Amino acid sequence: MGHVSEQTRISTRIGSIAESATLAVDAKAKALKAQGRPVIGFGAGEPDFPTPDYVVQAAVDACSDPVNHRYSPAGGLPALKEAIVAKTRRDSGYVVEPANVLVTNGGKQAVYNTFAALLDPGDEVILPTPYWTTYPESIRLAGGSPVEVFAGADAEAGAYLVTVEELEAARTERTKALLFCSPSNPTGAVYPTEQVEAIGRWALEHGIWVITDEIYEHLLYDGAQAPSMPVLVPELADTCVVLNGVAKTYAMTGWRVGWMIGPTDVIKAATNLQSHATSNVANVSQRAAIAALEGSLDAVEEMKVAFDRRRRRMVEMLNAIDGVECPVPQGAFYAYPSVEGVLGREIRGRTPRTSVELAALILEEVEVAVVPGEAFGPSGYLRLSYALGDDDLEEGVSRIQALLAEAR
């Protein structure tokens, strides 16, 4: 047998994919917990609430129905597509048809399907930064090139919000699309209505596609609103894809049901891709999603009360740390503090100079897991999810406070 070198065993395309940093941090925290260590994890991007009972019961009932034991249309159950159409009209005022909908295996597949359907090699996608860790990898897998446009924690400039002027400065003749996410993962930032419209009109003027991720649409605080861009700019509908799913609103991250809404030609192309990649989403999960979408939003309102309380407490505690600056997030369930004022200072005989090094120090010294900013863009930041119990939040941030108070 001929010798195959390690360098050629895995394709360059797949070998270049970075591991999901958020999942890696969560897995490491869970592994340490399983060993009996008192680790507190702030890495998970999922609600710490159970899926509503009526949704679970719909899945139990679906398991007993033989119709769900068979293949179903690759693009999604017709009943679920209808439910998505109705939910989209109800929640955002965006009017679409079932032919505009593709049901996917979670939001991540919707992200990849969209870029795969739209991008050719060399196409550029403008990516407001900090970004969700999956976006750039999906862009590269589809043959495109992410172009980062960074907005920092400066509240006066609009913390973590990019401007039309910054987007225009990044535009080139190769720009094909803009990825837009509000409320944002990882920062919790929410774009004001007038800024959403301005960005939409800029994209329309220059013939740029907009992929808008609305997965956190219902997790809003302090009166913030997150209008759907194609509602504010109706002319954009023919060059816009909306991404969404049941994961965050209904505490259904493990059920793996997302969707993309877009022009029929894009949806048809993405459905063809999915028919060869995964075929249909599990029927039982689709039936559960129908129950979720046709039910009330009471569950998310209950979660929001807890998230809001934790949000305010976490931000208060983080801002009490010398060298840490944490803008107040208006959406999702993440805080994204700048720790640039801590880097370069000695802590227990070590001098972290990047947020990767600081996150490792925090885990090793006080057994608290956070995600470093390098997972989402530049160094100098940490992401902490407040989707965990109040006592764990208090204890975990208190440990960070005590450790960073030693910085010299």
DSSP for 238-252, written as a single string = GGEEEEEESTTTTT-
101 and 95 Cβ atoms separated by less than 8 Å: no
In what helix (H) or strand (E) does residue 393 lie, and over which residues does it extend? helix 390-404
Neighbouring residues of 13: CB distance < 8 A, sequence distance ≥ 6: 141
Q: What is the dihedral of CA 190, 192, 193, 197, to 10 degrees?
A: -90
Q: Computed from CA positions of residues 56, 57, 59, 63, in that sequence, does the dihedral angle turn out positive or negative?
A: positive
186 Cβ contact partners less than 8 Å away, ≥ 6 residues apart: 130, 131, 132, 334, 336, 371, 375, 376, 383
CA distance 241 to 257: 17
Nearest to 115 by CA among 78, 87, 95, 144: 144
pTM over 0.75: yes
Q: Give me the pLDDT at residue 6, please.
A: 56
CA dihedral defined by 8, 9, 14, 16, rounded to 10 degrees?
Answer: -50
The distance of Cα 148 from the centroid of its chain, to the nearest Å, equals 16
10's tokens: 């895995």
Rounded (to 5) percent helix, strand, coil in the chain: 45, 15, 40
The residue ranges of DSSP E strands in 1-144, in sequence order, are 40-41, 101-104, 124-129
Quick one: pLDDT at residue 29?
82
At which residue do the structure tokens 């965006």 appear? 94
Residue 114 in tokens: 């969209």
Q: How many CB atoms lie within 10 A of CB 321?
A: 21
Q: Name the 3-class secondary structure at 87.
A: helix
What is the rounded CA–CA span in Å between residue 285 and residue 62?
9
Backbone torsions φ then ψ of 279, nearest 5 degrees: 60, -145
Residue type at 46 in one-letter notation = E
Residues 193 and 232 sit within 8 Å (Cβ to Cβ):
yes
Alpha carbons 151 and 279: distance in angstroms, whole number: 38
- pLDDT recorded at residue 3: 57
Which DSSP category does 378 fall into? S
**pLDDT score recorded for residue 131:** 97
> What six digits make up the tokens of 49?
């609430």
Instruction: Give the H or E element holding residue 407.
Output: none
Residue 8: its pLDDT value, please?
A: 77
Q: Please, how many CA atoms are within 13 Å of residue 116, restricted to the half-sphere of its CB?
A: 19
pLDDT at position 154: 83
Instruction: List the pLDDT tens digit at each of the 408 positions of the chain.
Output: 555 555 578 998 898 888 777 777 778 888 888 888 899 999 878 899 999 999 999 999 999 999 999 999 999 999 999 999 999 999 999 999 999 999 999 999 999 999 999 999 999 999 999 999 999 999 999 999 999 999 988 876 689 999 999 999 999 999 999 999 999 999 999 999 999 999 999 999 999 999 999 999 999 999 999 999 999 999 999 999 999 999 999 999 999 999 999 999 999 999 999 999 999 999 999 999 999 999 999 989 999 999 999 999 999 999 999 999 999 999 999 999 999 999 999 999 999 999 999 999 999 999 999 999 999 999 999 999 999 999 999 999 999 999 999 999
Sorted by sequence, the CB contacts under 8 Å of residue 90 that are 6+ apart come out as none
Burial of 116-131, coded b for 16+ CB within 10 Å and e otherwise, reads bbbbeeebbbbbbbbb
Q: Which amino acid would we find at residue 346?
A: E
Residue 22's pLDDT is 74
Greatest alpha-carbon span in the chain: 67
**What are residue 214's phi and psi, to 5 degrees?**
-110, 25
